[in-house]
Amino acid sequence: MQDIDTFIATAPRTRFAFAIKAKVGPIQDLGQTARGHRRIIDILGGEVAGPMLEGEILPGGADWQIVRPDGTIEVVARYTIRARSGALVYVQNEGLRVASPDILARMSQGELVPFDSYHFRTAPRFETADAALKGLERATFVGVAARTPDRVAIGFHEVL
């Protein structure tokens, strides 16, 4: 029988599934609310490409954010992908973007900063009625994300 401590200490493997490049609107800063410093960024559309999924991001989604007192940004993005086949996929993608105060300030000014100067990771969940895409609902993924002044790019990797 396999040793449980060895099993749980084993790093999972991942496999690249697909990437999205989403065009986003300007930050709507609601200020301090009962839940924290709230921001909303509209998702205007985009593209999806990779071995597991091809298609487009439909306009109409958004990223609802809370900016913590330490500058960490909690992201909760909800949007729809239309696969090349025409099937629709609902995405709820939650994660954290963490950067130094200097990097956050530069990003807030619209500056493109080195992608390795901050941490931006997500944990997406997918829903679809399309039988050919049901594997998206049954797998675990991690997203490796980057932010530019008008886009968010995320590589989704299936955890094996």
Give the per-residue pLDDT at 59: 98
DSSP code per residue over 98-146: EE-HHHHHHHHTT----GGGEEEEEEEEEEES-GGGTHHHHSEEEEEEE
DSSP code per residue over 55-115: EEEPTTEEEEEEE-TTS-EEEEEEEEEEETTS-EEEEEEEEEEEE-HHHHHHHHTT----G
Indicate the fold that domain 13-159 takes in CATH: Porin (2.40.160)
pTM of the full structure: 0.93
Contacts of 13 (CB under 8 A, 6+ apart): 159, 160
Rounded CA separation 110/120 (Å): 17
Give the per-residue pLDDT at 100: 94
Domain boundaries, the chain: 13-159
Give the per-residue pLDDT at 1: 72
Give the per-residue pLDDT at 65: 97
Encode the chain (160 residues) as per-residue pLDDT tens digits.
778 988 889 999 999 999 999 999 999 999 999 999 999 999 999 999 999 999 999 999 999 999 999 999 999 999 999 999 999 999 999 999 999 999 989 988 889 999 999 999 999 999 999 999 999 999 999 999 999 999 999 999 999 9
The encoded tokens of residue 52 equal 């597991």
| CA neighbor of 93 nearest in space, from 16, 28, 22 | 22
Length of the chain: 160
Give the per-residue pLDDT at 109: 87
Give the per-residue pLDDT at 7: 87
